[in-house]
Amino acid sequence: MNSFGRIFRASIFGESHGAGIGVLIDGCPAGLPLAEEDLRRDLDRRRSGAPGTTPRREPDAPQIRSGIFQGRTTGAPILLIINNRDVDSRDYESMRWTPRPGHADFVAEKKYGGFHDYRGSGHFSGRLTAGLVMAGAVARKLIRPVQVTAVLEEAGGFPQIEEAVQDAVDNKDSIGGVVGCRVTGLPAGLGEPFFDSVESLMSHAVFAIPAIKGIEFGSGFRLARMRGSEANDVILDAKGTTATNHAGGIHGGITNGNDLVFRVVVKPTSSIPREQRTVDMRTGQPAVLQVEGRHDACIALRMPVVVEAATALVLADLMRVAGLIPPVVTE
């Protein structure tokens, strides 16, 4: 349930205010050079620090606990851990019974009968995506020379992202955004016609990222207004190069050799420093909630590397299933 992949498989674990978070990777070929530095590069892109991101400062120092020997993967499961440091759970006790709108507080209470770790969203925290990012850093090395690049295209509806974020901060509010992702260098033929279509697997992985509420491939929702004569990507040569890429590089669920292109929408951060109405779960009576704690005004700022990670996970697995990544890799 917290795992993904058929052969290259990642399982995430941890809590925001517990001992730490991390990921267990199975099915990674032997022989891949891997150092903590490889993980840190991607983790740094996910970290807070910029305006509009949470003041919580975590060094996010990754530890490799198994599966690596003499600087290379061994073929055995790889356990990657980040200990939590900058934990301050005081604010959460006061919010115990007043679920934050837009958060998982209410569903967690229902699903786990009140036994969940409610501090800092516990296992539901966006902090868990650091585990995804570490798995993605491994996957990214495996799939080379395939390249995955995601960027925040807009925030709050504006391409001037810094201004939009500052405006949200000034208004004690939050904004969402749109992240675009492009994969270059992909071979044709990955994916399966139906339940393992590339769209199925990519969306499955991407929707594991908290706050993402939509995904579209190629021209996506704009296809609803296009004619077939416009939407069909004309094939230009025997390699399958197309004149346009409305399909986002996927036909019949399978990569067609063009760039894989998709966009996801990130909802505005749910935690905002304003009073909000909610309910007291014990009494069912209305309540007013002032979310304390440290939060991002625009979590979308930190998303691109997480989307890249989810994408790399899917591709590493697809390439393993297709036999394109051997059980032992050598560089």
Residues from 126 through 145 that contact a copy of itself (CB under 8 A): 128
| Contact call for residue 1 and a copy of itself (CB under 8 A) | yes
Residues from 250 through 269 that contact a copy of itself (CB under 8 A): 251-257, 265-269
Name which of 6 and 144 has its Cβ closer to a copy of itself: 6
Q: What long-range pairs does 68-74 form, CB within 8 A, spacing at least 24?
A: 68/34, 71/33, 71/34, 71/35, 72/30, 72/31, 72/32, 72/33, 72/34, 73/28, 73/29, 73/30, 73/31, 73/32, 73/34, 73/138, 74/30
| Contact call for residue 323 and a copy of itself (CB under 8 A) | yes
Question: Helix, strand, or coil here: 64?
Answer: strand
Residues from 193 through 252 that contact a copy of itself (CB under 8 A): 193-197, 199-201, 203-205, 207-208, 210, 212-221, 223-238, 240, 242, 246-248, 251-252
| Contact call for residue 294 and a copy of itself (CB under 8 A) | no
Least distance from C-beta 83 to a copy of itself, angstroms?
A: 9
Cross-strand partners of 11: 3, 24
Least distance from C-beta 40 to a copy of itself, angstroms?
A: 18
**Residue of 48, 73, 245, 311 that binds a copy of itself (CB under 8 A):** 73
Residue 239 token pair: 């390699």
Q: How far apart are CA 134 and CA 131, in angstroms?
A: 5
Amino acid at 304: P
**Residue appearing with tokens 């990012």:** 133
Nearest Cα to Cα of residue 47 among 322, 302, 236, 331:
302
Least distance from C-beta 67 to a copy of itself, angstroms?
A: 7
Name which of 37 and 234 has its Cβ closer to a copy of itself: 234
- Interface mask (CB under 8 A) for a copy of itself, residues 148-187, using x and -? ------x-xx----------x--x-xxxxxx---------
Torsion of CA 136, 89, 295, 215, to 10 degrees: 40
| Contact call for residue 147 and a copy of itself (CB under 8 A) | no
| Contact call for residue 85 and a copy of itself (CB under 8 A) | no
Q: Give the pairing of strands 9-14 and 275-279.
A: unpaired
Phi, psi of 94 (to 5 degrees): -70, -20
Span from 35-43, 52-60, 106-114, 136-144 in contact with a copy of itself (CB under 8 A):
106-114
Q: How far apart are CA 132 and CA 251, in angstroms?
A: 27
Name which of 57 and 69 has its Cβ closer to a copy of itself: 69
- Interface mask (CB under 8 A) for a copy of itself, residues 15-54, using x and -? x--xxxxx-x-xx--xx-----------------------
